[in-house]
Amino acid sequence: MDLRTRITTSIKQAMRDKDSARLSTLRLVNAAIKDRDIAARGTGNDDGVSDAEVLAILDKMAKQRKESATTYEEGGRLDLAERELAEIEVIEEFLPRKLSDDEVAGAIDAAVTETGASSIRDMGRVMGALKSRYTGQMDFGAVGPMVKDRLSNA
């Protein structure tokens, strides 16, 4: 079952369960996907966005909510922070399992070998290979320095 179908099914179930918090989060996710579909149609892609792009949308939404929750906590608005954290839980249901540190290191090594990267100048190719294969499974903000370190020691 593709991601869109899973999200639509979850929206229907949240309606049946009268779970308004979950329903509103799922509707936000659905709206973000439809916005990207509309933008894709403008470039000639009538099929809409792929599952990989949906994963990227979900990953971005989760990151935004993490930043907001941190900001709310720092500002003493724990009620709003809790709501953001609840939304993160709903969004992360549709994301693949996060990779462990060892798996991330292995993925970096494989991407470096696959792309034939030998210096820092090849970092873009390595990151592109990782993003195409592991979207939603790793935090690329944390992976970037790891790739840089790996390539500087190569």
Query: In whole angstroms, how far apart are CA 153 and each of 10, 112, 118, 135, 150?
Result: 46, 12, 9, 25, 5
Query: In whole angstroms, how far apart are CA 143 and each of 10, 42, 77, 138?
Result: 31, 33, 31, 7
Q: pTM for this structure? A: 0.74
Looking at residue 150, what is its pLDDT?
84
Looking at residue 76, what is its pLDDT?
93
Query: In whole angstroms, how far apart are CA 78 and each of 10, 68, 72, 85, 106?
Result: 27, 11, 6, 10, 38
Looking at residue 148, what is its pLDDT?
87
All domains of the chain in start order, with CATH: 3-92 (1.10.1510.10), 101-152 (1.10.10.410)
Neighbours of 17 (CB within 10 A): 10
Looking at residue 79, what is its pLDDT?
94
Query: Cα angle vertex 46, ends 41, 52, to 5°?
Result: 85
Per residue of the chain (154 residues), give pLDDT as tens.
588 899 999 999 999 999 999 999 999 999 999 999 888 887 777 777 888 788 889 989 998 999 999 999 999 999 999 999 999 999 989 888 888 888 888 888 888 888 888 888 888 888 888 888 887 788 888 888 888 888 887 6
Looking at residue 72, what is its pLDDT?
95
Looking at residue 24, what is its pLDDT?
95
